[in-house]
Amino acid sequence: MSDNPSFVLKGILDVEIQPKPIPEIEADEVLVEVKKTGICGSDVHFLVHGRIGDFIVENPMVLGHEAAGVISKVGSKVTNVKVGDRVAMEPGATCRKCEVCKEGRYQLCPDVVFAATPPTDGTLARYYRLPSDLAYPLPPNLSLEDGAMMEPLSVAVHAVSKLGALRSNQSVAVFGCGPVGLLCMAVAKALGASRVIAVDIVPSRLEFAKAYAATDVFLPPAMEKDESRLAFSMRNAQAMMEKLGITERGPQAIDLVVDASGAEVSIQTGLRIAKSGGTFVQVGMGNPNVTIDMFVVICKELIVKGSFRYGPGDYPLAIALAASGKVDVRPLVSHRYARFPFTQAREAFETTRNGKSPDGKGVIKAIISGPDVDINEA
């Protein structure tokens, strides 16, 4: 075994532990010994389908991008962190020179090198290199497991705070009670939202959301035989508005709708329940080809935005929200696994893919610990 054992995707549903060279770092980079990595739906998608949209796995690739670890080595020009520091790892290095980087939207950089996005290796290895300014020191009250959760929390911060521009005393509806959806609710609550509505088709997920961050929940009705998605969405939106007392204008209107499901009917319903002049943010990825009612978008002058990863300031705000206790990420970690033996790492992906572990426990977030790391060591 090498000093850098890595969890490698060789092909569809074909993974193994392989030895990899320890990365060499540049003067402005750090080498992180990865301790905790969360499993994201995108990791599972690459495992099962070998691609996400235009990102196609053509060669073996190390999976994982939600990570935290300990600084093992620093480059000669690094001053912001030192060996031994515990850090959350922002997994996308950008060019810093293009138009979008210079205007502060580096998440749109065409030359971004993002962990576990083809052809770049991810963080499910003993060591990972990254620019030093993308290694964020963790406050003493945050664990390395918390540090790994800063990645999905930053996704939520970007969608709700930056793009959604949610303000105190506004209301928000979030479709999808997976990790990102739940964290969007938590961010909204932390920012002072007066109402946080959770929508999902799984009752147990709604129960969790209500206990975690939501003020209200809605379980959509079943689709009727031969009912089109658009017809169902109209009926679903009407039922939701009637049950929860949602109006198109006034204090009972929904200022911000976030779709974290990617489901076409959720998108269609969300556009209909948003208030006139409200904002709709799409953060979940499903079928890329969906039908929406542009008449609704136009007549309500909706602001519709796509949310892609995270940008400047999102990681620091995520860490601040967690460190202050305004967002608690720990209840979301439902399953913990070791990278060795190999069967445990594979089981982590199978659990996330199936939505539950073999014992029937529903999964929210599975965390894989690095080599020689106790899975119960937070």
pLDDT, residue 81, reads 98
Amino acid occupying residue 224: E
Among the listed residues 118, 108, 124, the one whose alpha carbon sits nearest the alpha carbon of residue 40: 124
For tokens 């620091």, the residue is 316
Residue 355 amino acid letter: G
pLDDT bin (cut points 50, 70, 90) of residue 2 is: low
What pLDDT digit, counting tens, does each position of 87-121 carry?
A: 999 999 999 999 999 999 999 999 999 999 999 99
Average pLDDT over residues 238-259: 97
Assessment of whether the complete model's pTM goes beyond 0.85: yes
Find all residues with CB under 8 Å of 72, minimum gap 6, and list them: 30, 31, 32, 33, 83, 127
Q: Could you report how far apart the first and last alpha carbons of the chain are, in Å?
A: 26
Write the CB contacts of 207 (distance below 8 Å, at least 6 apart in sequence). Answer: 217
Q: Are strands 171-175 and 254-259 parallel, antiparallel or unpaired?
A: parallel
pLDDT one-digit tens code per residue, 4-47: 999 999 999 999 999 999 999 999 999 999 999 999 988 998 99
pLDDT of residue 1: 43
The strand ranges marked E within 106-211 are 113-114, 127-131, 135-137, 171-175, 195-199
Whether residue 322 is predicted with pLDDT greater than 90 in this model: the reply is yes
